[in-house]
Structures are given as structure tokens and as C-alpha cells.
Structure 1
Amino acid sequence: MGFMTFLEKWFPMKEIHGSCSIIVDIPAELYYKELALYTGISLLANAIAKCEIKTYVDHAPVKDRDYYCLNVSPNPNESSSQFWHKVIEKVIRGGEALVIETNGNLYCADSYCVKEERPIIGNSYQNISVGNFTFTKTWGANDVYLFRLDNTEIGGLLNGMSNEYNKLISAAAKSYKQSNGSKFKLHIEGAKAGDKEFNKEFEETIKKQLATFMENEYSIYPEFEGYELTSFKESNPKNADDLIKLRKDMFEIVGQALKIPQTLMSGNITNMNEITKVFLTFAVDPLADMIAEVLNKRAGFENWVKGSFYKMDTGKINHRDIFEIAQSIDKLIACGSMCIDELREELGYEALNTPFSRQHFMTKNYEKIEQLLKQMVEGGEMGNE
């Protein structure tokens, strides 16, 4: 989802007919908060969209209809990336996201109502709408997927917090414009100052000429007899440091609320591996766990206990250079931890599905401790010590 599309969802847009220009009618102070929130949501949603949701049947991974629905396309109109972006955005902004399943497809609701709160047997939901379509049926708690990380609406908290920052940003912007704007002083003869005809002429003609003169880079102002136009400069012009600091502070606050490292929010990354670990541990993993838990809850205990369940694999979020991890790959095969096909799938390659690629290998350096002790006893090494 592009940034302009994101803004259209939350702010009124004006289109100029006959051209491609679009005017976003939002106050500057809201722009900072929305840009920071959009950055945080985009980072989290991109990470979740890159995860592989594995489906298991009888404790074995399978690529069935569920796998396709969760990882490729949940419905005819969306890809899985678009779908999970929408889910994550609603979880962060509103505290929860409701997903329904109909005709084998998944849809994230744009709006819905809780028909009845039932703490013991589960709530019921109605007026669930997706786009311009509203379902007439009532949905029970076991019929929907309710993604909720906690009971706090982060979007609401940020809105409350940003009220004071909006005032500061507005004041800083106003001060900057006032001190750095172009100002001129027009000296007029005293006889004309109170003349009604002159006042009318000034409003209709002279002010327009002045505005054109000040707003254009190259322009000429005709100065008539009785008028004198002089530049009026501020004695202490301000720079944009205050605005930059407030913008940075807004990004830091949003980052703290979403558990995202500040270097990721700002884009000034120095240690990618360490930053990614922190990002995955505190920001992404809780969302991934929530998704897996909700999917397994909807599938039910009977399926789960039989070994049919869902699992979020966050291992593919971090970019891997195959040449940098070549020694680690060799070690995983040498110790028998993974076979060749398992490693290929982990690295994003297709499995070979051959007898040798499905075998587990182990070097001669790895032995059972009982076997090693037996060899030491037989060789007399234990007695010598």
C-alpha cells in the first residue's frame, strides 16, 4: 500500500479536475504523527508478511489449501501481503482485527459490531462489512478469527499524546514562517491614507501586485510617485531545528510504543544484525505468536492434539547471504541436525526431493558419549589418569 493510498484512508483528498495533481488537506502537525505511525506499521506489517505460516497435519508440514490461503492469496481480491498488512494495521490502530472465513476465503472486516458480549461462551458479532458489502448473518466467537495483542489501543494513546505535540509543532512552524517570511513596508503619503477611493484601489490592485511580486522568484513591482516599498527583515531569523527535533521526537515516541528500535524508525542503521534481532524479539515475535495462537484456537483442540496445527516461521525475515553463512550450513548438515532439503527450504530454495537429499548425515567426529567412554576404557586412557 502506497503512502498516498494510506493518507486517503484517513484524510480528505481533493482532486483537481483535468490534471493529475492531488491536494492532501491535512494539518502539518498531524502529518508528522501519521508519517511516524505509517512508518512503524509498515515495518511490522512487512515483517509479518514475509513470514511463512506453516501448516502441519499429523505433525508433518504440508502445503495444502490452508497453506495457499495464508501464504499466497486469502481471497480473490488480495494477496497474502495485502491481507496481513490490513490485519496488522487494524491491530495497531484499533487494538484488534476481525477476520472471517466464507467459501474457503479469508477477509479482514472493515467494520463490525458486537451483538452480544458473552464472557463464558464467547461473543457474537453482526453487521460485519468488507468493502461495500455487509453480511446479514450473526457470527459466533468460534466462527471468526479475532486478532488482539492486548486491550490497549495504541492508536488512541498516540492520538491523546500527540495533542500537546500538535500545539508545539504548530507554534514552531508559525514562528519559523513569521521570522523567515518575506516582509515589506509600503510608505504612503498621509493624504492618501484615509481616502476611500485609495483604500478601494489598494484592496483591488496594489495588494495583488504586492502578492505577485513577493510570491514569484522573478518579478517587477512598479513603484509610483507617492509610494515607497522597502524590505523589512527580522533581526533574529529562526532555522528549522525546532521542527526537526519535534519530528524526531514524534518518531521516537511511536517507535517506543511499537517496540521498534529507533534506528529502524529513522533509517539510520549501523549494526543491522543486532538491530534486527531486537526488532524481531520485541516487536515482531509477539505479533507472530498472536497470529499462530489465533489460527490454532480457531482450528480447535481436537486438531491441535492430533498434530494438525499452524506455526509462524519468522526465520526468513532477516536477509541471509548464503556465502556468509556457508560454514553454518555445513555445520548443520555435519551434526545431523538438518538434511539438505530442509536447509534448502530454509534458505528459500526448492527441495530436491531425492533419496540422498532427505537423508541426515553426521561426520565421524560426532559420537555417542557412551561409545567414546568405551573406547577410552579399552585403550587404557581412563586407567592412566
Structure 2
Amino acid sequence: MGLFDVLDGWGFGFGNKKKSEAEKANNMQYLVESFTTNIYFKQLAVQTSINLIAKSLARCEFKTFTDGKAQKGNLYYLLNVQPNINQTKTAFLNDIVSELVYSEEGCLVVQTDDLQLLVAESYQRDKYAVKENTYKNVMANNYPFKRTFVESDVIFLELNNKQIRRTIDGLYDSYGKLISGAIKNYNRKNSKKIVINIAAMFDQQFDDYDSDEDEKADITSGDKKIDDLMMNRLKSFFSDGDSAIALEEGLSLNDVSTLDTKNQATSRDIRAAVDDVIDLVAMAFHIPRGLLKGDVADIGQMTNNFLTFCINPIVEQIENELNRKLFTKDEFLAGNRVKISTKKIKSFDIKDIAGSMEVMTRIGAFSVNDVLEYLSEELIDEEWADDHVITKNYTEIEKYLKGGDEI
């Protein structure tokens, strides 16, 4: 059984030799368009989710600490500016999120001898119970690594739901067919419909044969003219905005598409099906549906949910993996670590947070430079800007209860 026999079983008619070549071509075109439509709409939803997550992660600051104090050195530059010579932080994180979604195993990040971080395109992972996993045949940016990496040499990340891509593919199978059907129904109901009237005199006028082969096949010149009309002339006639067509005597066209105006379809059914796909993908990634579709209503609450259920779990995984691979146990306990800050993901107006910043400074939680850093402004190179102050309105509760001059 060949491919066309299988497709014929699906109702496309490729295996039926009685079908005309035109019908077979139309069936094949619909099949290709259906598959292409499915891929495009699914990729739209998945890629939009990947871009949203990657851009959010790119706004995070990878803070590096030495002995419990924030330090900006080579590691800070590597994680926040240029992970490798050919990528920015944003492009690097986009590759990481893409691999998290599309890779069956997970995302592998390797470090070169000159301290560059690269996202592997392919690799072979051998897992063990009581010794380090190994990674062989690593390919990154079309460069094959000949060495074998062990677990402590790499950064390995994987989604909590490793089957997220299969889940999306499974959910989309039904909706992909629904979208294709809605598009086909839209095109069918809104397409031009022409009735061709063939008079009896047409057959009498063109009943001769052009060749002996045509006579044996009983194909008259009239049959050829009708085939040419259906396959060629009408096709160019419908493809142009303003056009004319020449018809032989005995043929006439009657436009009947205007007779069924009440049943003409709109694109709302297609849009509703696409929205359902976006909703399903958003659910799989734990992204608020309105945020993925660009809604502005209740954007604050949607952003909070997005950070809580989507971004924070990924950030915690990256942070934990960096800390356990870049530092030993003693170094980590001594205060050497990487901490990822997500506070810059949310955009804000300075007037909206002015009161909060004043309170944080008044109780000694923030210094002036802390406030400036939060606002992404230049720091003040003075000692007093790093001091933490507290208003005299605050005191210990024991002293307050005693009253008198001790307050």
C-alpha cells in the first residue's frame, strides 16, 4: 500500500484512478495547506510563550556574591552581558528556553576552555545512580566537542513537566483539525460560485476529434475546450480583480454566489479556534492567557501570577544549578553564590513607588544607593549614600512601654 492509497482511505481520493487530475491536485493542495496551517498556528502560540519567558528572564539580574557581599567581576559579566563571543544575554536565554521546550532531555549548557557558555544543540546523556552523569557527542553552534563532559562540568536544566511539548502536540491535534476545517468552511462559503450553462448547440458545433487518439478515447474538441475553461481560463479569471473571459458560442456563466449571502461565513470562528489553541499553550506554560494575547486589563495581577507560577520556578532552578556547579559546599556556606533578582521584570512609574521607597529608606531597609540601583540610576560615589538610616519615630517596644525620656 502506497502513500496515495493511505490518503485515499482518508477520503482524499488519490488512489481512485477515476478521479480527474484536477481533483487530485486540489486534494493534495488542501492536505498540504491543512498541515502547514496546523504547524503555523501551533508555532505561533509556542514561540510567543518562549519569547515572553526568555524576555522576562533577560530582565533579571544575575547578582554574584563573594563572602556574602555583592561583587561584579568576570562571572557577573558572563551571566549578565556576554555569555559567549557571539551572543548577548537575551539571545543566550532565548536558546535556553527553546531547548527546555523542544528538547526531549533538557537544556545542556557547556563551558569552553576560554570560559564561554554555549547552549548545546544535541548531545548524548548517560545517567548513573552513584556517579556523575556523562555527556558525549556534544554539538554547540555547529561545533562538535570531542571531549566527554561530566555532570559537574555542565549546567543542565529541565522543565518540571518534561512532557510539555508532547502535551501541547496532543492537545493541538484536535484543534489543528478544527482550525483547518474552519478555514476551509470560511473559504467555501465566501468563495465565488459560478454555474456554467452548456447549450445543446455547443456539442454539435465542437463534436469533431483533433486526433485519432482522441477519437479512440472519445475526447472531442468541445471536451478539451471545457477542460481548458475549467483548468486555465477560469483560474486566471478569478485570480484577478478586474478581468474578462472569452466564451465560445453555446457557453454562458451564471454567478450564484450572491444568492446565499445569509450563510456567508466570518473569520470569528477561525479566531475563536486560534484563541483556544493559545489558551491551551498558556495553560501548559502556566502563563496567564490575557498576558500571552496582549490584553491590558488587570495587567498587574496577571504579571504577578506570571512571575509566581511561570518565571520563579525557572529562576529557582537556574539559580540552584548555578550555585551547585560553580561553588563548592564550603564556598556556598561562606557566602559565595549567584542570586537572580526578578524585580526589574515589572515596569513601573517612579511616582507609583515613591511612597514605598521613602518607607523602605525610613526604616533602614534601603540606603540611597539601594534606591538608585532599584531604579537603574547611577549610584552616588559617597559613603553617606551607602549608609542605612532610621527615623527617630521608631524604637524598641520595651523602651516604648516604659515611656519617659528613654523613648
Provide the TM-score with structure 2 as the length reference. 0.83
Show the counterpart of 2:199: 189
Q: 1:368 to 1:125 in 2, by over 3 A?
A: same
Please point out which of 279, 288, 300 is paired with 1:261: 288
Contact preservation (8 Å) 1:72, 1:79: yes
Show the counterpart of 2:79: 70
Please point out which of 209, 220, 244 is paired with 2:244: 220
Show the counterpart of 1:198: 222
Query: Tell me, which stretches of 5 or more residues in structure 1 are unaligned?
Result: 1-23, 380-385
Show the counterpart of 2:403: 375
Show the counterpart of 2:368: 340
Contact preservation (8 Å) 2:291, 2:299: no
Contact preservation (8 Å) 2:202, 2:251: no
Deviation, structure 1 residue 192: 4.1
Contact preservation (8 Å) 1:57, 1:307: yes
Contact preservation (8 Å) 1:93, 1:156: no
**1:121 matches 2:131:** yes
Deviation, structure 1 residue 25: 11
| Aligned counterparts, 1:132-211, within 5 A | 132-190=142-200, 192=202, 196-204=220-228, 207-211=231-235
**1:232 matches 2:256:** yes
**Residues 185-218 of structure 1 deviation map (CA, whole Å, 9 limit, x = unaligned):** 1112235457621222333466422112111111
Q: 1:226 to 1:79 in 2, by over 3 A?
A: same
Instruction: Write the distance in 2 (CA, Å) between the matches of 1:121 and 1:208.
Output: 70
Contact preservation (8 Å) 2:34, 2:180: no
Contact preservation (8 Å) 1:94, 1:154: no
Show the counterpart of 2:333: 305
Q: 1:129 to 1:363 in 2, by over 3 A?
A: same
Q: 1:52 to 1:305 in 2, by over 3 A?
A: same
Instruction: Write the distance in 2 (CA, Å) between the matches of 1:86 and 1:25.
Output: 29
Contact preservation (8 Å) 1:93, 1:153: no
Show the counterpart of 1:246: 273
* Counterpart code for 1:256: M
Contact preservation (8 Å) 1:292, 1:312: yes
**Residues 11-64 of structure 1 deviation map (CA, whole Å, 9 limit, x = unaligned):** xxxxxxxxxxxxx99611221111011111111111001100101100001111
* Counterpart code for 2:352: E
Instruction: Write the distance in 1 (CA, Å) between the matches of 2:116 and 2:67.
Output: 24
* Counterpart code for 1:259: H
SS state at 2:147 partner: coil
**1:100 matches 2:127:** no
Instruction: Write the distance in 2 (CA, Å) between the matches of 1:152 and 1:218.
Output: 55
**Greater shift after overlay, 226-235 or 103-112?**
226-235
Please point out which of 319, 325, 340 is paired with 1:292: 319
Query: Tell me, which stretches of 5 or more residues in structure 2 are unaligned?
Result: 1-32, 208-218
Instruction: Write the distance in 1 (CA, Å) between the matches of 2:232 and 2:67.
Output: 79
Show the counterpart of 1:277: 304
* Counterpart code for 2:128: R
Instruction: Write the distance in 1 (CA, Å) between the matches of 2:406 and 2:149.
Output: 71
* Counterpart code for 1:37: V
Q: Aligned-residue CA RMSD in angstroms?
A: 2.0
* Counterpart code for 2:110: I
Show the counterpart of 1:12: none
Instruction: Write the distance in 1 (CA, Å) between the matches of 2:391 and 2:35.
Output: 65
Contact preservation (8 Å) 2:364, 2:389: yes
Instruction: Write the distance in 2 (CA, Å) between the matches of 1:149 and 1:245.
Output: 29
Contact preservation (8 Å) 2:101, 2:164: yes
Instruction: Write the distance in 1 (CA, Å) between the matches of 2:93 and 2:59.
Output: 10
Instruction: Write the distance in 2 (CA, Å) between the matches of 1:48 and 1:156.
Output: 24
Contact preservation (8 Å) 1:94, 1:156: no
Deviation, structure 1 residue 93: 2.7
Deviation, structure 1 residue 119: 2.1
Q: 1:139 to 1:378 in 2, by over 3 A?
A: closer
**Residues 155-190 of structure 1 deviation map (CA, whole Å, 9 limit, x = unaligned):** 121112211212222222212211111121111223
* Counterpart code for 2:237: F
Instruction: Write the distance in 1 (CA, Å) between the matches of 2:230 and 2:354.
Output: 75
Q: 1:153 to 1:350 in 2, by over 3 A?
A: farther
User: Hey, which of these two has a bigger chunk of helix by percent?
Assistant: 2
Provide the TM-score with structure 1 as the length reference. 0.87
Instruction: Write the distance in 2 (CA, Å) between the matches of 1:131 and 1:148.
Output: 20
The structure with the largest alpha-carbon Rg is 2
Contact preservation (8 Å) 2:63, 2:70: yes
Instruction: Write the distance in 2 (CA, Å) between the matches of 1:212 and 1:329.
Output: 68
Q: 1:185 to 1:43 in 2, by over 3 A?
A: same
**Greater shift after overlay, 359-368 or 45-54?**
359-368
Deviation, structure 1 residue 338: 0.9
| Aligned counterparts, 1:21-60, within 5 A | 27-60=36-69
